[in-house]
A = this chain, B = another copy of it.
Amino acid sequence: MAVTSRERVRLAAVKLFAAKGFHGTGIRDLAQEAKLSSASLYHYMGTKEDLLAAIMTESLRRLLDAAEQACEGVDEPAERLRTLVELHVLAHAVQPSETRVVDNEVSALSPEARAPVVALRDAYERLWADAIADGVASGTFATAHPAVTRLALLEMCSGVARWYSPRGPLSLDQLAAHYSELAMRALGCAFASGHTGAGRCREVVSRVWGVPV
């Protein structure tokens, strides 16, 4: 069989949790989407909350790995932040459902299940914080409140998952380049040296998420 039942359950959950929310999605909705009975679902998962937590940690784990791979050897802070922005935007554009679940359903988790998810999220945001702090320290970036700027840029980039459509006028490359330009400008770094890492981001996204970019 090309797609296992286990994979169908996961895909169904990502799709429905993103579209209707965790609490808005019933076990029977999940079963119908995965073409299984509601009882069979429990052969592949623990509780509904376990399923959500697994999706979130796996998705964040992938994003964190991808970001670390893409940044490897990129020392110049502006270049590193460009890479982070482009990777984030590409990930949110090619996996909007997954990223929407991660971004919107954290509050549906119990405190115990939430902790590891928040830890992964913090580790990921640390990459952004370090790149911005390095850029500020070296004089490349000029921003009065680096932490606020980081949050603003992250929210800006995550928003892509809420509206981007591949049928729209922008290609993924154009989208990533535009956001990277917005971020550089916001950081007072409009005339940064030529950016050469876009291809590497595409390659990492393609490999980590297994989709053509």
* Chain A residues in the interface with B (C-beta under 8 A): 19-24, 104, 107-108, 144-145, 148-149, 151-156, 158-160, 162-163, 169-170, 174-175, 178-179, 181-182, 185-188, 190
Count of identical protomers in the assembly: 2
For A152, the closest partner residue in chain B by CB is B156
> Smallest distance from the beta carbon of A89 to chain B beta carbons, Å?
10
Which residues on the B side are within 8 Å of A190 (C-beta)? 185, 188, 190
A24 touches B108 (CB 8 A): yes
> Smallest distance from the beta carbon of A131 to chain B beta carbons, Å?
17
> Smallest distance from the beta carbon of A36 to chain B beta carbons, Å?
23
With contacts A108-B21, A188-B185, A188-B190 taken as known, whether A155 is within 8 angstroms of B162 at the C-beta atoms is yes
B107 touches A178 (CB 8 A): no
With contacts A158-B155, A159-B151, A159-B152 taken as known, whether A178 is within 8 angstroms of B21 at the C-beta atoms is no
Q: How far is the CA of A124 from the CA of B113 in the complex (A)?
A: 38
A149 touches B182 (CB 8 A): yes
Q: How far is the CA of A76 from the CA of B24 in the complex (A)?
A: 45
Q: How far is the CA of A185 from the CA of B142 in the complex (A)?
A: 11
Which residues on the B side are within 8 Å of A149 (C-beta)? 178, 182
Which residues on the B side are within 8 Å of A22 (C-beta)? 21, 24
Q: How far is the CA of A155 from the CA of B92 in the complex (A)?
A: 14
B175 touches A182 (CB 8 A): no
> Smallest distance from the beta carbon of A95 to chain B beta carbons, Å?
17
Beyond A21-B23, A153-B156, A188-B190, 9 additional contacts (C-beta under 8 Å) are A23-B23, A144-B181, A145-B169, A145-B170, A149-B182, A152-B179, A152-B182, A155-B156, A155-B160
Q: How far is the CA of A174 from the CA of B144 in the complex (A)?
A: 10
Q: How far is the CA of A104 from the CA of B21 in the complex (A)?
A: 10
For A179, the closest partner residue in chain B by CB is B152
Interface centre among A152, A163, A179 (most CB of B within 10 A): A152
Which residues on the B side are within 8 Å of A169 (C-beta)? 145
For A154, the closest partner residue in chain B by CB is B159
